[in-house]
Structure 1
């Protein structure tokens, strides 16, 4: 949608948007929204848009903590905790994101658009060297967690197993839950009680990862030599998905093609997951990477996928962040375990992930900040929703494929590492 040039037109647009948002948000708070896709979609777009605009206008939060994305996530989660958003609506939003496919549609668009929009040679190079960067972040995070545990008296090993590994495990479903089951078998305990000790670390680690992403974005502006401004490796160029042809019909057709390409690759990843014991996103990344590496995708579809991914980022990121805040960020759970020693443990783990991934990444030709975000913070957050929150706070949504590699493949690596480490206990 084009932005009117005349001040009077801009005021009219602002008034109409404000009126729409007010009506929709009040309807949501009072339980008057229509049921189904349309009502929920209108609510999350209105709530996300208002909170994002507020965050971009709060100077200190914008300059040091990531601005809009931080306010959307924590503001909406505070509304849930304070009872402004009804429990039924919160439940519906969670279902909409997870079970009705909004999160899948968003991540699929970013994976296909970002990978197909990358330079082919640099994609192949980054794929080879990315896992050592993840490993650097994991090792440093666990060492930092262990040392912090030793310093505060909770124990070196205890901190690694119950704080470090759960935080770096890729979220709840693919991380903390299987970790708890593995630990329970080895130490002859109940998996539920083990999981109860891990969950606070995972949730608090996710919150710190989001905040750290905003701080890294700010650091990149002050120290441009550390940042690729969204590029992962030195020399990388991105296809921006824009065509020289300004015809609206052509652009709409390209976006439709991009939507079809991204969802088709997700279906391929899903079908492969029925054969191979891997997450559909991981297999989707492999399929898109293979097609890009072989150079067999026509440029029209590559550019269309990049255009569709750009549209999803620009138009729907605040809405998805509102979903994350409403349905996936439980501040009450964090408040129950807040203590200075525990916060110190979690901060040490996240800091270690940043330093380890950034240092190894720089040695291997990656930009340190982008390496720290994708291979460090995207290991320390809570899977797919955490990836979106971290990349949005750092203004680097195009790095979603590498964030997903960290969350899915890196998370599987943590399970193997935990099993091996338990053998020495």
Structure 2
């Protein structure tokens, strides 16, 4: 037994430095080929050229961001670096204009963004435990809603007092921060806002991305402060236990599902079909197709309409897409949806105050409602508030790590998945009121 362990250790030690699971020399060779074609002007148009370029750039910037001390601990790590650095690469002409056109076309015209979102929504919801989804909807959603109402209301009030505008503060700062991260939050929100307001989604992203970055950083800092408060006010915390009576809420299954290529193919068909179904419903129901898609997937999951085998396929496909394509997608967001000059010009003292107000509002609102529903206030604030205000999965890890409550991850995931979906639906309703 010991010989086997030692062999495994030696294998791991000999693997050396890797990017995307690829050895550094091999990754460098692949990068030279792709970047060489880019600067020579022979990078193919469409997916065959855009995807490898975005994957190479995204993987490199992700590795950088996850190693920079302050950025990896407080500003979202690789995700933020990928978005802003890739935006800078095209804004300042480091990457040729032709590559920007190829990537922008792939993201918008060829639907890579929609393809990613469809996989994310369908797989994440179908991959949840059904009983957990039902229990969470009944017991946990009010905690999330309390944080959302407090965050939006307080930010709107402060925005009005400071002359920023209540509507602008809610739509462009509070909602994006509370929207469930980048891929499942800000990106579809920018698309929705762009369609309803008849503006370029890139302008929307330029307003939302700084809010997400600052909100994520502040959520992590507040999480650390809540841990310190819990040590002094022991009656406010369950030291990692969310509810005072938690036994009837089941955690997500830890069953390891064997990878099945046919199941992944089923997952592709399911996710894209749900996306098309949302588009069909939007013809008859005045709600955005993303929101209708989310509602449809949740109903199908709760009613158990889709066989478990197919649900596993959707979950496997979602995990594959999220693991392999997220850095590439973030490059596309930086290139096609982020106006760097607009981002820089949007930062101000008022903007920073409004971001902080959103995070504080989410923390107080979720903790207050949680207290009256039998939750420990600090744990409710962390999961229902801060895990809504951070940047999705990576933000959840950072917030729970800062608060020393990693055991709350299942509930953090509910905030990111179901809470993010709720924000898309809420945003649709608010847009119809404000416009």
The answer to whether the superposition gives a TM-score over 0.5 is: yes
In the alignment, which residue of structure 2 is the partner of 1:134?
Answer: 145
Cα RMSD (Å)? 3.9
Cα distance in 2 between the residues matched to 1:212 and 1:29:
39
Distance in structure 2 (CA, Å) of the matches to 1:198 and 1:324: 12
| TM superposition shift of 1:342 | 3.8
| Partner residue, 2:261 | 252
1:112 corresponds to: 122
Q: Closer, same or farther in 2 for the Cα pair 1:406/1:71, shift >3 Å?
A: same
C-alpha distance in structure 1 between counterparts of 2:425 and 2:47, whole Å: 32
Distance 2:420 2:304 in 1: 22
The residue number in structure 2 matching 1:371 is: 384
Using the alignment, how far apart are the partners of 2:225 and 2:37 within structure 1?
40
SS of residue matched to 1:5: helix
Aligned match for 2:304, one of 291, 295, 298: 295
1:29-57 Cα shifts (integer Å, max 9, x gaps): 55442222111000000001111111222
CA contact (8 A) 1:66 1:213 kept: no
Q: Are residue 164 (structure 1) and residue 175 (structure 2) matched?
A: no
1:65 Cα shift?
2.3
Contact 2:90-2:96 at 8 Å conserved across structures: yes
**Residue 308 of structure 1: how far off its partner (Å):** 1.4
Provide, for residues 43-77 of structure 1, a one-character-per-residue CA deviation record: whole Å limited to 9, x for no partner. Answer: 00000111111122223322222222222122212
Distance 1:327 1:303 in 2: 32
Q: State whether residues 205 and 350 of structure 1, in contact with CA within 8 Å, keep that contact through their aligned partners in structure 2.
A: no
**1:183-204 CA deviation, whole Å, 9 max, x = no partner?**
xxxxxxxx99xx9x99975454
Q: Name the structure 2 match of 1:409.
A: 425
Q: Within 2, Cα distance between the matches of 1:7 and 1:124?
A: 45
Q: Give the Cα–Cα distance (whole angstroms) in 1 for the partners of residues 101 and 382 of structure 2.
A: 36
Q: How many Å separate the matches in 1 of 2:429 and 2:370?
A: 18
2:361 aligned with 1:352, yes or no? yes
* Residue matched to 1:265: 274
Secondary structure of 1:321's aligned partner: helix
Q: The residue matched to 2:23 in structure 1 has which SS?
A: helix
Deviation of 1:81 after TM superposition, in Å, equals: 2.6
Which range moved further: 138-147 or 269-278?
138-147
Partner Cα separation in structure 2 for residue 216 and residue 26 of structure 1: 45
Q: Are the counterparts in 1 of residues 387 and 396 from structure 2 also a CA contact under 8 Å?
A: no
Question: 1:77, 1:362 → 2: CA distance?
Answer: 43
Corresponding position of 1:185:
none
The answer (yes or no) to whether the contact 2:76–2:217 under 8 Å persists in 1 is: yes
Question: Offset of 1:415 from its aligned partner?
Answer: 2.9
- Say if 2:355 is the partner of 1:338: no
Q: Does 1:312 align with 2:321?
A: yes
Alignment partner, residue 174 of structure 1: 192
- Name the stretch that deviates more: 262-271 or 396-405: 396-405
In structure 2, what is the equivalent of residue 97 of structure 1? 107
**1:414-425 equivalence runs, <5 A:** 414-415=430-431, 418=434
**Post-superposition shift, 1:107?**
1.7
* 1:47 maps onto 2:57 in alignment: yes
Equivalent-residue separation in structure 2 for 1:49 and 1:218 (angstroms): 29
Which runs of 5 or more structure 1 residues have no equivalent in the other structure?
Answer: 182-190, 378-388, 420-425
Unaligned runs of 5+ in 2: 1-8, 177-188, 231-237, 398-411
| C-alpha distance in structure 2 between counterparts of 1:288 and 1:76, whole Å | 33
Contact 2:124 2:417 in 1 (8 A): yes
Q: CA deviation at 1:335?
A: 1.9
Q: Give TM-score scaled by structure 1 length.
A: 0.74
Equivalence for 2:87: 77
Which SS does the other structure have where 1:83 is aligned?
Answer: coil
Q: 1:406 to 1:217 in 2, by over 3 A?
A: farther
